[in-house]
Chain A
C-alpha cells in the first residue's frame, strides 16, 4: 500500500516592496529549523544578480530582491517571485513531509566560556533565583546542545534555543548601557553572546574569549542559523591566556 505523503506548507507575504517573507513554521515545531536552513542554502545557491540578501530568523526566511532588475515575465513581479521561491522550496525538499537533510551540516561549535562572577555580573543573582548552586547552574548551562535560531540585533549576535527552563530569567528592566564584548547572557528562555560591546538587557553569566564577528572571515559571523553550539567552561587563567 502506498503511503501518501502530506506536504508541508509555506506562506509567503510581502515585506515592503523589495522583500518577501517566507513563513516556514513556528520555531517550536519539529524540523522547522532544518527546513529554514535548507531553503536558505537553496536560495543562496541561485546565481542571480537581483537577489540581494537571504535572512533566516526563527521559522522564517526573508528574501530581499531588486524589483527593477528582476526578470519578471508577469506584470506583477511579486507573484512571479512567489512562484519562483515555491519552486525552489519544492525542489530542495523543504515541502516534503520528512524533515529534509541539511547538506552543509556543521559539527557543533564549541564556545569556551569563563563563568566567573567578575565576567558575568548577574551569575550569582540568576543562580540564586533558580535555586541552584553556582556549580550546578554552570553545569546545566554547559551541558546542553543549543541551536542558533537567528543572527541579528548586532552583527554576529546568535539567538540560541535549548536553554533549560530552570535557567530562564527575565531581561533586565533597565538595559545596561555597556555590555562587554564576548558576554554570554540569558534573555527570557534564550541564551546568546554579545559579539561587541553594546547596550544590552540580558542577564550576564560569563564571557567567551572567542570572536563571534571577524571582518577577516567569510562569512564574518562565527555562527549561522541552524548551527549547534556547546559551551565549555574554562578557568579565568585560561580565559586570560586566550585573550
Chain B
C-alpha cells in the first residue's frame, strides 16, 4: 500500500512524535510543531496517537492512494478540505489539499500510518541532520511513501468531527504563557510589555522575534547548557529566538523564558509577521494546564474508540 505525492507542497515532511533518548549525542527531538493536531489526526483515522503523518507547511500536497483509505487533516485550516474528521478516499482518487487559511502547519494522518524506516527510534524527519522520514529530506513532487494497513470505514464519511479545544483556534495575534528562564532577572523590563513580530527567517528550528531590543544588565559569559523545545534565548542583539521542534540540544545564549508545553502547539502555528505577546505563569501552573489538556485528550480518545467499535 502506498501513496504518491503528485505535488509535494512548499515544505512537507514525515513526522511522528519525535526522537527521544538521544539528546546527549546532540540529536534534536524533531517531531511535529503542533503535537496536538498530529495526535488528534491519528485518533480520527483509528491509529495510535504517535503514528507518522505528513506535516504540511502553508501549502498542501496533491496525493493519490493505491487503495481505499481513511484520512484526516488537523491543525492549520486548509482550503478545499474538510478538517478535523475522518474522510474516506478511494483508490486512484486525487486529493488536493489547499493552502493554509489560518495557522501555518496542517497534519495529514492516514489509516495505518506512513511506514518509513525509523532512525534512532523515530520516523521524524531531521532536515539539518539529513536523516529520518524519507531520506532525511522534505518531500518532493513524485515521491512515493509506503503506508500501513489500518482500518477502513463502512460509510463514506464518519458522522462526527472534533471541534474547539484542545484543537487550537489559530489567529495571527496571540499570547503565549511562559515559565521563568535561568537569566530572566538579568534583563531589564520589556519582554512582557511589548508585542513581537515573527520574522520571515523562522523555521522548524526556531522562531525569530522582532521587537524593541532587550537589554541584559550583566555581561557575564554563559556556559552552554541544555535547552528545551520552547526555550526563548536572547542573543546580544536583544531579539529573542524561540527554539522549536528541530532546535539544537545545547544553547549558549541567556535564557529569558520557556514557553509552557500546553501552549507549544499554538506557537508551532505561528508564521512570518504574526504578532505574539508573553505572560508569566509558574511551572506548577503550567503542569496543571498540561494535565487538564491530557484529560481532555483522554475523553477524545475514548469517544473515538467507542465510535469505531460501534461502526
Among B22, B129, B249, B258: residue with most chain A CB under 10 A? B249
Q: How many residues of B contact A (CB 8 A)?
A: 38
- Residues in A neighbouring B131, C-beta threshold 8 A: 215
- Residues in A neighbouring B286, C-beta threshold 8 A: 16-17
Is A153 a contact partner of B26 (Cβ separation < 8 A)?
Answer: yes
Q: How far in angstroms is the closest Cβ of chain B from A216? A: 10
* A-B interface contact total, Cβ < 8 Å: 127
Contact string, B216-232, partner A, CB cutoff 8 A, digits 1/0? 00000001111010110
Is A68 a contact partner of B26 (Cβ separation < 8 A)?
Answer: no
Is B24 a contact partner of A224 (Cβ separation < 8 A)?
Answer: yes
* A window 151-206: CB within 8 A of B: 151-157, 159, 196, 198
Do most interface residues of chain B lie in helix, strand or loop, or is the interface mixed?
Answer: mixed
- Residues in B neighbouring A196, C-beta threshold 8 A: 129
Is B228 a contact partner of A15 (Cβ separation < 8 A)?
Answer: yes
In the complex, A18→B291 CA distance in Å? 12
Is A152 a contact partner of B258 (Cβ separation < 8 A)?
Answer: no
Contact string, A219-234, partner B, CB cutoff 8 A, digits 1/0? 1110011000000000
* A window 14-54: CB within 8 A of B: 14-19, 21, 27, 40, 52-54
Taking A77-B287, A78-B283 as contacts, is the C-beta distance between A221 and B224 under 8 angstroms?
no
- Which residue in B179, B224, B230, B284 is a CB contact (below 8 Å) of A159? B224
- Judge whether A142 is part of the interface by a CB distance below 8 angstroms: no
In the complex, A114→B249 CA distance in Å? 29
Taking A21-B182, A60-B225, A78-B284 as contacts, is the C-beta distance between A155 and B261 under 8 angstroms?
no
Q: How far in angstroms is the closest Cβ of chain A from B205? A: 12
Is A17 a contact partner of B283 (Cβ separation < 8 A)?
Answer: yes
Contact string, B15-50, partner A, CB cutoff 8 A, digits 1/0? 000001111111110000000000000000000000
- Which residue in B26, B128, B248, B259 is a CB contact (below 8 Å) of A221? B26
Q: How far in angstroms is the closest Cβ of chain B from A182? A: 16
- Residues in B neighbouring A239, C-beta threshold 8 A: none
- Which residue in A16, A54, A153, A198 is a CB contact (below 8 Å) of B283? A16
- Residues in A neighbouring B186, C-beta threshold 8 A: none
In the complex, A239→B85 CA distance in Å? 58
In the complex, A15→B25 CA distance in Å? 19
Q: How far in angstroms is the closest Cβ of chain B from A23? A: 9
Contact string, A47-72, partner B, CB cutoff 8 A, digits 1/0? 00000111111111010100110000
In the complex, A56→B287 CA distance in Å? 24
- Judge whether B158 is part of the interface by a CB distance below 8 angstroms: no
- Judge whether A76 is part of the interface by a CB distance below 8 angstroms: yes
Q: How far in angstroms is the closest Cβ of chain A from B168? A: 18
In the complex, A199→B226 CA distance in Å? 21
Is B119 a contact partner of A152 (Cβ separation < 8 A)?
Answer: no
- Residues in A neighbouring B23, C-beta threshold 8 A: 53-55, 62, 64
Q: Which of under 10, 10 to 19, 20 to 34, or 35 or more describes the interface residues of A?
A: 35 or more
- Judge whether B260 is part of the interface by a CB distance below 8 angstroms: yes
- Judge whether A13 is part of the interface by a CB distance below 8 angstroms: yes
Q: How far in angstroms is the closest Cβ of chain B from A75? A: 8
In the complex, A76→B228 CA distance in Å? 20
In the complex, A198→B21 CA distance in Å? 23
**Closest residue of chain A to B260, judged by CB?**
A17
Is A55 a contact partner of B249 (Cβ separation < 8 A)?
Answer: yes
- Residues in B neighbouring A78, C-beta threshold 8 A: 283-284, 287
- Residues in A neighbouring B25, C-beta threshold 8 A: 151, 155-156, 213, 219-221, 224
Taking A62-B226, A215-B119 as contacts, is the C-beta distance between A155 and B26 under 8 angstroms?
yes
- Judge whether B143 is part of the interface by a CB distance below 8 angstroms: no
- Judge whether A113 is part of the interface by a CB distance below 8 angstroms: no
Taking A17-B261, A21-B182, A77-B287 as contacts, is the C-beta distance between A219 and B22 under 8 angstroms?
yes
In the complex, A220→B22 CA distance in Å? 8
Contact string, B257-279, partner A, CB cutoff 8 A, digits 1/0? 01111000000000000000000
Known pairs A151-B25, A154-B129. 20 more at Cβ < 8 A? Answer: A16-B228, A16-B230, A16-B231, A17-B260, A21-B182, A53-B24, A57-B225, A58-B224, A60-B226, A62-B225, A67-B290, A77-B287, A151-B24, A151-B26, A152-B224, A152-B250, A153-B248, A155-B26, A157-B26, A159-B224
Interface residues of B (CB under 8 A from A): 20-28, 119-120, 128-129, 131, 179-180, 182, 223-226, 228, 230-231, 248-250, 258-261, 283-284, 286-287, 290-291, 294
Top 7 closest pairs, chain A to chain B, by CB: A152-B250, A62-B226, A16-B258, A221-B25, A17-B286, A14-B283, A16-B228
Interface residues of A (CB under 8 A from B): 13-19, 21, 27, 40, 52-60, 62, 64, 67-68, 76-78, 150-157, 159, 196, 198, 213, 215, 219-221, 224-225
